[in-house]
Amino acid sequence: MRKMLFLATTILAATLSAASAQADQKEVTVWSWFVQSTMEKSIAAFEKAHPDIKVKYTYYNYSPEYITALKAAAASGSLPDVIGLQPGSLTQQYREHLEAVNERAAKEWGENWAEKIFPVNRKQMRMGNPAGDDNYYIVPQESQVLCIWYNRKIFETLNIAVPKTYEELKTAAKTLTDNGYIPMFQGAADGWQNENVFLMLANQFSPGIVDKAQAGETPWTAPELVEAMKAWKGLFDDNIFQQGALGAHAYPTGAQLFAQGRVGMMALGSWWMQESKFPPPLSEYVQNMDGFDFFHMPPVKEGNETSPPVGGIDIGYGLTRNGGQNPAAWTFLAELTNGVGLQEALNDLNDLPAFEGHAPKGDITDHVKELSARFMEDLPRAENQRFASPAVAEALDNALAGVAAGSIEPEAALAAVQAATEKVLAAQ
């Protein structure tokens, strides 16, 4: 028996070493939550341009799967070469496991490489770095701009104009509801969609105020933020969001209903365009984005302006310490964020580029081109969407849910966010 086992092991070992000897191909391992079908196209384009490199992609859902896998791999030193990252808190959690990319990027794209990145992205790339650390640990691949999408076919049928004031928004919501549509779908069980809408509101009262608040320069209890919080509650009370929004999820429920023409409006972002490139069957609304157009949140209070665009990095990639040992890893990262890989993602309308000078190519209608161009116009002046500390984001999520549920007053809720912020700032 033992002999047999020995024999089997030897044969297995021989086969394995033969296989590895044969494979003079370099391999890059990548983990992310990035849509698998699009990533496969990016990888195919990359492997065509670099036939000596093979890319192994592992897809994870963001939560809990991706963040668990990442943390476990970091703790045991088995991170892959390249990992998908969000700027701010997620990048900071893994900073020690990441290579600073400054030198490699300068060599690849020239000394001024960072200036080719849209300003809001550039700011986010260093967000949360300890004082004095001017390195970049994340290379952004795609940007996003938040907005309110609406179903223009439904709007047309019901004779609704794009709302310019809060009253018009309320009327639009009522007309939609009366005709059996969901007015504005909010997946308020998901913290991220709540944050996004709140950022639209807060930046309308005072552009950049959330950034100041999370940096400790303005208290979260400032009157503008309290007003924004009240306006947030108003969206529920005025039946702009659907009934029971607090128990709902944006994905897959809300997105599905929206895509199928059951919903009038939904606060999402530029990434919504990718629906039109998903595998068929697609609804008449999603087909070439025919049914959709977007606007920014109209003034919720007299004297306010329409919300400025809010956005930043959708997704970026980091080179791990393991990946630092593997020259092919950087080659892939560079092509993915600012080369052939990015082009494929853009062609799939996955989102907007993070570097200047790219545009989607291929089979794209004028309507989509126009949408894309408007987003690209918004991007350079977009306000920051991201949080430097997960604890602050978490506190804001709780505050927003609590206020929406009516279980806590806006002032008290914001005071809790302020307390969380102070705790984080004190720890630094």
Does 407 help bind other proteins (rule: CB under 8 A)? yes
Interacting span for other proteins (CB under 8 A) from 101-109, 273-281, 292-300, 314-322:
273-281
Q: What DSSP state is assigned to residue 101? A: -
- Helix 102-109 vs helix 327-338: crossing angle, to nearest 10: 60
In the bound state with other proteins, the residue whose beta carbon lies nearer, of 245 and 336, is 245
Element containing residue 4 per DSSP (H, E): helix 2-22
Q: What are phi and psi of 52, to 5 degrees?
A: -85, -5
Q: In the complex with other proteins, which residue's Cβ is closer, 165 or 260?
A: 260
Bridge partners of 318, per DSSP, are 83
How many residues at the interface with other proteins, by CB under 8 A?
73
Coil/strand/helix, residue 161: coil
Among 3, 5, 21, 76, binds other proteins (CB under 8 A): 76
Tell me how far apart the alpha carbons of residues 406 and 394 are, in angstroms, rounded to a whole number. 18
Segment near other proteins (CB under 8 A), from 35-43, 210-218, 264-272, 340-348? 35-43
Torsion of CA 239, 243, 249, 253, to 10 degrees: -100
**Smallest distance from the beta carbon of 218 to other proteins, in angstroms?**
21
Q: Which of 283, 306, 321, 415 binds other proteins (CB under 8 A)?
A: 283
> What is each CA distance from 100 to 2, 105, 134, 353, in whole angstroms?
50, 10, 9, 21
Is there binding between residue 286 and other proteins (CB under 8 A)?
Answer: yes
**Among 170, 332, 152, 301, residue whose Cα is nearest residue 236:** 170
**What does the block give as tokens for 199?**
């950022």
Q: Rule CB under 8 A: is residue 110 a binding residue for other proteins?
A: no
**Interactions with other proteins, residue window 179-198 (CB under 8 A):** 182, 188-191
Judged by CB under 8 A, the chain residues 409 through 428 that form the site for other proteins are 427-428
Phi, psi of 341 (to 5 degrees): -65, -45
According to CB under 8 A, which one of 290, 398, 415, 422 is a site residue for other proteins? 398
Nearest distance from C-beta of residue 152 to other proteins, angstroms: 18
Q: How far is the CB of 208 from other proteins (least distance, A)?
A: 24
Binding to other proteins in span 47-66, by CB under 8 A: 56-61, 63-65
Task: By CB under 8 A, tell whether 36 contacts other proteins.
Answer: yes
Task: Please tell me whether residue 15 binds other proteins under the rule CB under 8 A.
Answer: no
395-425 in b/e form (b: 16+ CB < 10 A) is bbbbbbbbbbeeebebeebbbbbbebbeebe
Stretch that binds other proteins, among 91-99, 195-203, 341-349, 362-370 (CB under 8 A): 91-99
Dist CA 74 CA 96 (whole Å) = 9
Report CA-CA distances (Å) from 311 to 56, 144, 200, 306, 377: 30, 5, 10, 15, 12
CB atoms within 10 A of CB 38: 21
Using CB under 8 A, pick the residue from 11, 161, 215, 405 that binds other proteins: 405
The Cβ of residue 137 has, within 10 Å, a number of other Cβ atoms equal to 25
State which of residues 55, 294, 397, 418 lies at the interface with other proteins (CB under 8 A): 397
Task: Pick one of 35, 55, 82, 265: the residue that binds other proteins (CB under 8 A).
Answer: 35
Half-sphere exposure of 52 (CA within 13 A, CB side): 6
CB of 145 to other proteins, least distance (A): 20
Residues 238-267 that bind other proteins (CB under 8 A): 242-249, 251-253, 255-257, 259-260, 262
Of the two residues 72 and 161, which places its CB atom closer to other proteins in the complex?
72
Nearest partner of 362 among 244, 276, 242, 267, judged by Cα: 276
Nearer to other proteins, 242 or 331 (CB): 242
> Which residues does 4 contact at the CB level (< 8 Å), separation at least 6?
none
- Interaction residues for other proteins, span 197-236 (CB under 8 A): none
Q: Identify which of residues 180 and 357 has a Cβ nearer to other proteins in the complex.
A: 180
Candidates 73, 201, 310, 315; binder of other proteins (CB under 8 A) is: 73
Q: Which two tokens stand for residue 305?
A: 């302006």
Tell me which stretch binds other proteins (CB under 8 A): 107-115, 145-153, 271-279, 297-305: 271-279
Binding mask 335-374 for other proteins (x = CB under 8 A): ----------------------------------------
| 129-148 positions binding other proteins, by CB under 8 A | 130
Looking at 93, 165, 171, 175, which residue binds other proteins (CB under 8 A)?
A: 93
